[in-house]
Structure 1
Amino acid sequence: MASPNIVSSSQSSLSPPPATSIASTNGGYESGEIDWDNLGFKVTKTDYMFIAKSSLDGDFEQGQLIPFGNIELSPSAGILNYGQGLIEGSKAYRREDGGIFVFRPQDGAIRMQIGAERMCMPCPAVDQFVDAVKQTALANKRWIPPADKGTLYIRPLLMGSGAVLGVAPAPEYTFLVYACPVGNYLKGATEALSLYVEEEVHRAVCGGAGGVKSITNYAPVMKAMRNAKRKGFTDVLYLDSVNNKYIEEASSSNIFLIKGKVILTPKASGTILEGITKKSVIDIAHDLGYQVEERSIEVEELITAEEVFCTGTALGVAPVGSVTYKDKRIEYKISSEIVSQQLNTRLVGIQRGTIEDKRNWIVEVK
């Protein structure tokens, strides 16, 4: 199989160094080079990315690490013309002892396989996916922030890179993994979300691809997000497209409501993405003695909720300070004792290694 057609921003061809030299090059930890306290959540050029290719009917090659750079695509590539692409997200954490760990990469691999079947794409095996994530984290080791300063956000991307004219699966596919150091997704570490309930634009429809992490799910929500942010809101909360009365999710996160000892979240039925952080929070909630109900939730139930919060890989567990629906603002009390804070503390503790991981969620990178 031909080697990946990659073009760096600084050179016309790339010859990837052996994995051993990559590991030794980035094994050092030079904290003085990066302002860890002001990372934000943005693209930062790191050192290396992982890439592998496959034909439509073949298996993915072993793949390789190459210097971070631009990629070259045919103007007829399936990803560009027909949106044949999937993304995933994971994070690598540096612990106090210097150890590096990734949170539930195997779940991202399985979710990508489900999405690939829906989008008529071949997909790396679970072991291949996890190994690529680990290799990318290790190759960019010096970019992983110190404990409690941030994380290395890892983005696996599967795309139809082969040229195709006419609506059909591409003849070639590229699996690519890159990474960026990030701080808090929100501008302020303690900032609460303010959501606007969207009644005209729908994120997903029955029978569509709303239940998989397709790239086609994100551009259509940008206009609604832009309009909401212009009005001072953080994000948009979408309703179902059939009845326009059941809450589904925000633009890139799942939503939960709390009523007493019961935690409610919309049941995924093809239009809601099955979040990995969402699944983790549900398990943690059970551990803490809460009852969790996954069901249809009418938007009016936001009025009687004691607490609302959102979850996502990038976002973590974030409290919602207010939801605005039909020009009525519903406010929720925010404090260090709210349930979402308890859930977040437990989740972060497992990720950081200060709380025992009883479910094998954590994968060590070494």
Structure 2
Amino acid sequence: MTQSIRIERSAIKKTQPKASELGFGKYYTDHMFIMDYDDAKGWHDARIVPYQPITLDPAAKVFHYGQTVFEGLKAYRTADDIIRLFRPDRNFARLNRSNERLSIPELDEELALEALKQLILVDREWVPSEEDTSLYIRPFIIATEAALGVAPSLQYKFMIIMSPVGSYYAEGIHPVKIAVESEYVRAVKGGVGNAKTAGNYAAGLKAQEKASAQGSSQVLWLDGVHRKYIEEVGSMNVFFNLNGTIVTPALNGSILDGITRDSIIQVIKHWNIPLEERQLSIDELVEAHANGTLIEAFGTGTAAVITPIGELLWEGKPLVINNGQTGELSAKLYDTLTGIQRGSVADPFGWVLELDYRQASAAKN
């Protein structure tokens, strides 16, 4: 890390919403981080500035060729007023893996993490303390070169914006209905399915509309070649309890390497529960449901942490799981992971980065 980060503070602070009004991704903090790239200078001009619109040329490559990547992570305020980040190094490492796939220049991960820490320091009052609240953090990169030609951009912006949020689902941790998608495809091996890029999510909107029309909350994606192997649930990784063994699809080049997924795998292994990362077909799931060995299912991701699955809709037939109730393991994993994140449960894995801004404020004053 060689760059300094300049800070321009906002002269006017926004009115912060009440915890009951937060929802997810509706409000944004007073400041944001920006850093520019061009082919001659590399990454430069790291700065924290008041939250504001950005101006782009209509020919900016992000609009025409989809060169963009992003991440999602959270900051939490503990009962003793310490702000905690959960495995942020993994987010910036994954951002660089997405960069490589999208032909975007590599970021200095140490600088990116320092920028995030300083941005949270500036906007620390925005980290909520109420139960089921957090500060959602969205780092992202867009291609800004104004040129209509299919080639990697020579100019980019790296930005971080932050949003105080409540529970991802208004009803909290509650089983959802999932429609198994057999018409549309999310990604294939060799594509960009294992990168966190906007096109993956745009490609899923039509299937999501279809699922919503059927009364389902999310889509269960099948592989794009055989159309029978389980991949992801919406924007989450997915796990199944098959007769006491937890099974999750193996990373195969079209599945996102989720940080919550990896955390859940490590916790399950820590508890000495049998776990398999392997290919899993929809036929095997249907058979397990028929013979009573499909005990539980849940999705994992940063936004909701754990999302229990109460029903799968397959070929027009509902497959009810665990009587439509939250499973014992789902609840235990949710309580454990959120407890580690918030400091109420011990962290035997060394995942949490604590930011004690009480000391920083005292030093500043």
TM-score (norm 2): 0.89
Contact 1:95 1:147 in 2 (8 A): no
Q: What is residue 316 of structure 2 aligned with on the other side?
A: 327
Could you tell me which of 126, 132, 138 is aligned with 2:115?
Answer: 132
SS at match of 1:339: helix
Post-superposition shift, 1:204?
0.4
Q: Deviations over 1:293-325 (max 9, x none)?
A: 111100123232210000001121111010111
Which stretch has the larger CA shift, 270-279 or 301-310? 301-310
Contact 2:19 2:130 in 1 (8 A): no
Contact 1:213 1:273 in 2 (8 A): yes
Q: What is residue 169 of structure 1 aligned with on the other side?
A: 152
Could you tell me which of 258, 273, 277 is aligned with 1:290?
Answer: 273
Amino acid at match of 2:94: R
Q: What is residue 354 of structure 1 aligned with on the other side?
A: 344
Could you tell me which of 333, 338, 341 is aligned with 2:328?
Answer: 338
Could you tell me which of 145, 150, 170 is aligned with 1:187?
Answer: 170
Q: What is residue 315 of structure 1 aligned with on the other side?
A: 304
Q: Deviations over 1:128-170 (max 9, x none)?
A: 1211222232222222111424011000001111222210011
Amino acid at match of 2:296: E
Cα 1:128–1:62 change in 2 (3 A) is farther
Contact 1:203 1:251 in 2 (8 A): no
Q: Deviations over 1:114-138 (max 9, x none)?
A: 1111111113211112112222322
Q: What is residue 102 of structure 1 aligned with on the other side?
A: 85
User: Structure 2 regions of 5+ residues with no counterpart?
Assistant: 289-293, 358-365
- Whole-Å Cα distance in 1 between the matches of residues 40 and 232 of structure 2? 35
Q: What is residue 6 of structure 1 aligned with on the other side?
A: none
Give the percent of matched residue pairs that are identical in Structure 1 and Structure 2.
35
Cα 1:83–1:350 change in 2 (3 A) is same
Amino acid at match of 2:339: G
- Whole-Å Cα distance in 2 between the matches of residues 220 and 33 of structure 1? 34
Amino acid at match of 2:329: V
Contact 2:179 2:219 in 1 (8 A): yes
Q: What is residue 13 of structure 1 aligned with on the other side?
A: none
Amino acid at match of 1:52: M
SS at match of 2:335: helix
Amino acid at match of 1:264: V
Contact 1:56 1:122 in 2 (8 A): no
CA RMSD in angstroms comes to 2.1
Matches within 5 A, 1:218-229: 218-229=201-212
Matches within 5 A, 1:1-366: 18=7, 33-56=16-39, 58-61=41-44, 63-303=46-286, 304=288, 305-333=294-322, 335=325, 338-365=328-355, 366=357
- Whole-Å Cα distance in 1 between the matches of residues 213 and 120 of structure 2? 36
- Whole-Å Cα distance in 2 between the matches of residues 83 and 241 of structure 1? 21
Q: What is residue 361 of structure 2 aligned with on the other side?
A: none
SS at match of 1:294: strand
TM-score (norm 1): 0.89
Contact 1:56 1:121 in 2 (8 A): no
Contact 2:75 2:136 in 1 (8 A): yes
- Whole-Å Cα distance in 2 between the matches of residues 336 and 314 of structure 1? 18
Amino acid at match of 1:242: V
Contact 2:60 2:144 in 1 (8 A): yes
SS at match of 2:49: strand
Post-superposition shift, 1:244?
0.5
User: Structure 1 regions of 5+ residues with no counterpart?
Assistant: 1-15
Q: Deviations over 1:26-47 (max 9, x none)?
A: 8xxx9x9532023211321320
Contact 1:164 1:171 in 2 (8 A): no
Q: Deviations over 1:182-232 (max 9, x none)?
A: 111112113212100010101002211001101111111111101211221
Post-superposition shift, 1:238?
0.7
- Whole-Å Cα distance in 2 between the matches of residues 262 and 149 of structure 1? 29
